[in-house]
Amino acid sequence: MLAFRYRDKGTVIHKLNPFCKLLWVVSVLVFALIFDHPVYLLLLFLSTMPVIIAATVRNEWLSVMKLTLYLCIAIVIINMMLSYHGSHVLLEAPFRIPVMGTPTVTLEAMVFGLAMSLRLLAIISAFAVLTFTIHPDDLMLSMIKMKLPYKSVLVTSLSTRFIPTLVDDLECISDVQRSRGLELDKGKLPQRIKSRMSIMIPLLCNALDRAVQVSEAMESLAFGSGTKRTFYKEIRMSRVDVVTLTLGFFTIGFGIFMCLSGFGDYQYYPTLEVISMGGLEWSVLSLLICLLLSVVMLAFVKRSSDLD
Amino acid sequence: MRKSHILLALILGIGTACFAIPMFPACPLNALMNWGLVATTLVILAIIAFFFEFEAAAVGSKEIALVAMLGAVSAVLRVPFAAIPGVQPCTYLIICTGYVFGPVAGFMVGAITALVSNFFLGQGPWTPYQMLAWGLVGVTATYLRRFNMNTKWLVIFGIAWGYVFGWIMNIFFWASFVYPLTLRTFIVAQLSSVWFDSFHAVGNAIFLGVFGTRTISILERFKKRFNWELLPGPDA
């Protein structure tokens, strides 16, 4: 479970301001959802790669992508089975289902499923950057700075901090129970659930005792005394970060403007549109991708300015 | 009281409209809106509303520590069961929490479970939906208090949530990746996950049937031990 977690690798992407990374993830998410055109979605997906490579999280990313592929297959199959629209019929069933009509598999549905898989891949690839390169504490700190409800964020960060502790507890308890003769992977589903339960109840009781300790520790640090809280770690905004953020907001605005003025539109049904993109469209699209990629370039600029 | 009724009606109206409009292809709004995005935004707004509720309800360190630890336990419980598809032990713990500690704590534990476990299992656009779905599990579990606590109701409740949880998650899948958005595709998309949902429901039933009352009594005992109040003294 702990394979998919943040590890500080000290690359330029890891050191980038968390606000900039969050904004980048949000912009990829928004673009992936507002554009329908397969070429746009493909380029969007490809544009996340340089960030992955710069952050040296390729192996983690690959394992996430492997899991995503199963979801993609599900998307393609469900679309092919569900939408009987489209004019290029590949397969037609010889029977009729009363309410649903005659099941048919069309080329349009298949292409639509593939394009939607690209959309999912782009989104998940962007979120992988968030998971692997932002420390959960930094994420929480930036949430507090964005004026999200303080106590909720505190609960989340406390809980994240205790996960590794509880995983240790869990391993310890299962060793203890196993040494007493408990066999975890034996029997049918109800039996297996029951045997795991003898691990879960002690874990729960332990954790509740820990809750008392945490609460006492918070009281002793005068939690809720009303004065303004200070933080040991602060998120500093350098000049490069401000530039990156401004560019990020501009990118989102530019993308939405593109979408509203008709770029990135594509008709899958009833007949696949011919992919014809004029010179203007290509140049606008490549400008958008460059803007998205500027976050990597500015990250390198930031490092060299930090070294100075 | 009046004001909150109007607000409630407004929210219900917007929700129903967002759900119904995509089903009528003739409506001009369809060309403008991206329903996947609209659904996600609404879900996030709903979660933030619950967070503000918690802000008002959690007065001290006790509530915060308790909710955080229960959320962490329920997130960790996803580990030993990751090998069995569809079985989600956290649902059972969230039901017990909601039952014992009330709707706000129930929602928070549910939402925290989804958010925190996804730091390790992978964040994605599904996170807000999981947060809302598990949060609602915790909120609704409070209503079980109206019945006499017995295993039968717990099991029925768990089975029902096994399926409803899957339906909430399918809304995300349907709105973002399926075309056209009609009642028919909605129903088929919902049916597509029946297999996993059944596993989830069976898992819930076993957990709650065998260990539900025991866990609830542990939590009840802890609640008694953890909560204290100052009574006015004889000379006060």
Instruction: Name the closest residue on chain B to residue A139, using Cα atoms.
Output: B119
Position A145 pLDDT exceeds 60: yes
- Tell me the C-alpha distance between B37 and B50, whole Å: 20
CB contact under 8 A, A149 and B54: yes
- Per-residue pLDDT of A166-194, as tens digits, reads 988 988 998 999 899 888 777 777 777 77
What is the rounded CA–CA span in Å between residue B99 and residue B97?
5
Say yes or no to pLDDT of B7 above 60.
Answer: yes
Round to whole Å and give the CA distance between B77 and B66. Answer: 16
The answer to whether A207 and A215 have CB atoms below 8 angstroms apart is: no
Residue A94 has pLDDT above 80, yes or no: no
With beta carbons under 8 A apart, name residues in chain A contacting B211. 197, 200-201
Tell me the pLDDT tens digit for each residue of B33-65.
Answer: 677 778 888 888 889 888 988 888 877 888 899
Q: Chain A: residue nearest B126 by CA?
A: A124
Residues A46-71 pLDDT 10s: 999 999 999 888 888 998 898 889 88
Q: Does B77 touch chain A (CB under 8 A)?
A: yes
Min mean pLDDT across A68-77, A224-233, B86-95, B157-166 is at A224-233
Higher-pLDDT residue of A253, B6: A253
In our burial notation (b when 16+ CB lie closer than 10 A, e otherwise), range A95-110 reads eeeeeeeebbbbbbbb
Q: Which residue in chain A has the smallest CA separation from B79? A: A1
Q: Is the peptide bond before B180 cis (omega within 30 degrees of 0)?
A: yes
Gap between the Cα atoms of B73 and B62, Å rounded: 17
CA distance B79 to chain A (A): 6
Burial of A303 from C-beta contacts in 10 A (0-12 / 13-18 / 19+): middle
* pLDDT(A24) > 90: yes
pLDDT of residue A98: 64
Interface pTM, i.e. ipTM: 0.83
Contact B64 A154 (CB under 8 A): yes
pLDDT (tens digit per residue) in A71-85: 888 888 888 877 767
Closest-CA distance of chain A to residue B2, Å: 26
Note the pLDDT of residue A100.
62
Contacts of A159 in chain B (CB under 8 A): 67-69, 71-72, 75, 112, 116
What domains lie within chain B, and their CATH numbers?
Answer: 30-226 (1.10.1760.20)
What pLDDT is attached to residue A278?
82
Nearest to A78 among B70, B80, B189 (CB): B189
Residue A1 pLDDT grade (very low, low, confident, very high; cuts 50, 70, 90): very low
Chain B residues touching A194 at Cβ < 8 A: 210
- Those of residues 79-138 in B touching chain A at CB distance below 8 A are 79-82, 84, 87, 89, 93, 108, 112, 115-116, 119-125
CB contact under 8 A, A204 and B185: no
Identify all chain B residues contacting A124, using CB atoms and an 8 Å cutoff: 122, 124
Share of chain B above pLDDT 90, in %: 28
User: What is the chain A residue with the closest CA to B75?
Assistant: A163
Q: How far apart are the C-alpha atoms of B126 and B115, rounded to whole Å?
A: 10
DSSP assignment of A20-49? HHHHHHHHHHHHHHH---HHHHHHHHHHHH
Instruction: State the helix-helix crossing angle for A279-307 and A239-260, rounded to 10 degrees.
Output: 170
pLDDT digits (tens, 9 = 90+) for A291-300: 999 888 888 8
Q: What is the mean pLDDT of residues B139-156?
A: 85
A84 contacts: CB under 8 Å, gap ≥ 6: A100, A101, A102, A103, A104, A106, A109
Report yes or no: B195 at the A interface, CB cutoff 8 Å: no
Minimal Cα–Cα distance from A11 to chain B, Å?
A: 20
From B189, which residue of chain A is nearest by alpha-carbon distance? A78
* Cβ neighbours around B30 below 10 Å, total: 16
Question: Which of A152, A167, A189 minimises the CB distance to B76?
Answer: A167
Taking the CA atoms of A114, B164, B45 and A1 in sequence, report the sign of the dihedral they define: negative
The pLDDT of residue A264 is 82
Best of A155, A182, A198, A256 to disrupt the B interface by mutation (most B CBs within 10 Å)?
Answer: A155
Q: Do B189 and A67 touch (CB under 8 A)?
A: no
pLDDT at residue A252 tops 80 = yes
Residue A29 to residue B125, Cβ atoms within 8 A: yes
pTM of the model: 0.82
Give the pLDDT score at B180: 72
In A178-210, which positions are buried (b, 16+ CB within 10 angstroms) versus exposed (e)?
A: eeeeeeeeeeeeeebbebbbebbebbbebbbeb
Task: Examine the pLDDT at B19 and tell me if it is beyond 70.
Answer: yes
pLDDT, tens digit, for every residue of A207-234?
999 999 999 998 898 887 776 777 887 7
Q: Give the mean pLDDT of B211-221.
A: 89
Whole-angstrom distance, CA of residue A116 vs CA of residue A78: 11
Nearest CB among B79, B84, B122 relative to A167 is that of B79
pLDDT over 90 (residue A138): no
Most confident range, picked from A16-20, A81-85, B171-175, B188-192: A16-20
Contact B166, B197 (CB under 8 A): yes
Chain A neighbors of B64, CB-CB under 8 A: 151, 154-155, 158, 215, 218, 223
Q: Are the Cβ atoms of B215 and A204 closer than 8 angstroms?
A: yes
* Cα A48 versus chain centre, distance: 12
Candidate from A82, A167, A203 with C-beta closest to B185: A82
Give yes or no for residue A120 having a pLDDT over 70. Answer: yes
Contact across the interface for B119 and A131, Cβ inside 8 Å: yes
User: Whole-number mean pLDDT of chain A?
Assistant: 85
pLDDT band at B29 (very low <50, low <70, confident <90, very high): low
Residue pair A44/A31 in contact (Cβ under 8 Å)? The answer is yes
Give the separation between CA A128 and CA A12, rounded to whole angstroms: 16
